[in-house]
Chains A and B, each alone.
Chain A
Amino acid sequence: MPYTRVHAEVHEYDVFARKTRVEPLHQVGSVVAPDDDLAMAYARATYDEERWVEMMIVPKAAIISLWAPGGDS
């Protein structure tokens, strides 16, 4: 049987976390998943290198970029 992707439509999420209360959240990576629940599971399993005090994911589609390196500013 040829390989087919389980889900035809997936979304990209950025993963943010911080190790201590005094530091700000920072981006630690990203995951691709078909829905929020799986994205949370992937983020938890993939970025488990620290004992984070906080972790959150944000759909990339929800991020509004004002400017970025390499873009028009």
Chain B
Amino acid sequence: MEPANSGALEALLKRGELVESTSEMTPDYLRELKHTLLVSGDTELISAPAYYLAARKAPSVNAFMTGIAIIQDELAHAHIAYHILEELGESQEALIFKRDPKAFRYPYAFDVPLESWTELVVANAMYDQAGFCLLGDIHEHGSYGPWKRGLVKVMAEENFHLRNGRNWSKRISQAGGEAREELQRAVDWMFPLTVEWFGLPDNLKQHSTQLDYRLKGLTNDQLRQQWLSTGFRAHSMPTRSAGTSTIRAAGMRSSSGGASGGRATPRWSPSSRRASPSSRCAHEFLPAFSRRSGAPRLPAFSRRSGAP
């Protein structure tokens, strides 16, 4: 089937219509769409083992079942992204089971293990909120019809994850004492890692093809600001204390006033959105998906030294 010429695609996008088939895409549009879907699918997939390690520390059977339900959701979300990729000509089997673990693309945050129920619920409140902002933007503004429709389910379920994170964070915060201190420590190290989810600051980006093709509607800075406002002001999460802090994580240094201090201005390593060669996910989780001989089982491990 002959690809649409760029003029026809441009006109369709300008009219605010949805792209529904590959015959309407240019090769550039298809490449950008696949890339965006891959990052989304990989992030959802890798969140499952990351959350599982922490869900095992749930304080009750009910809490554990909530954690497992969230993991099931994340796998279904990954399935949706990979399945759309399959419809676009990729092999779902190859993407999940045969890819080099270091080729998976997901935020650096998932390379840092979650080791407690408290860390899991803060991840729900922060990471899932970031995912909610990013996917909500695609759901609202995205130009590819099948993905836009697939995200209806994803948005409904991410809402449940956020509620779990917010409710438990509030509960732990109100308990005070060591529980609250543990919560604060989790917020402290996860905050800069979640800022990283949104990519390069706008002033360091040359050009956004994703915006041109309406694969997303808001810029990185707009999405990051949305996350800062919806993720922290709407509920009683303890936040970083005000004042300048130096954050060394995810290959960046940032002078930030924290959530209550307004706009963060981080400098980014261009490699920060790739699985680090030394990451536990790249070496242990992802090879476990592969069914090669001697593939390791999902490991129990401690946070690596040097992590924030």
| Pick from A30, A32, A46, A70: contact of B24, CB under 8 Å | A70
* Chain B facing A: main interface SS: helix
- Knowing A70-B23, A70-B24, say if A32 contacts B292 (CB, 8 Å): no
- Give the distance in Å from the alpha carbon of A70 to the alpha carbon of B156 in the complex: 29
Chain B: interface size category:
20 to 34
Pair A3/B23 contact, Cβ less than 8 Å: no
* Chain A facing B: main interface SS: loop
Of residues 85 through 127 on chain B, the ones whose CB sits less than 8 Å from some CB of chain A are 86, 92-93, 97-98
Pair B153/A68 contact, Cβ less than 8 Å: no
B57 → chain A closest CB, angstroms: 25
Q: Which residues of B contact A (CB under 8 A)?
A: 4, 18-24, 72, 76, 79-80, 83, 86, 92-93, 97-98, 145, 149-150, 152-153, 156-157, 290-293
CB neighbours (8 Å) of A32 from chain B are 83, 86, 92
Pair B291/A69 contact, Cβ less than 8 Å: no
CB neighbours (8 Å) of B98 from chain A are 3
CB neighbours (8 Å) of B145 from chain A are 69
Interface residues of A, count at CB 8 A: 18
Pair B97/A69 contact, Cβ less than 8 Å: no
CB neighbours (8 Å) of A49 from chain B are 153, 156-157
- Knowing A3-B97, A5-B93, say if A71 contacts B23 (CB, 8 Å): yes
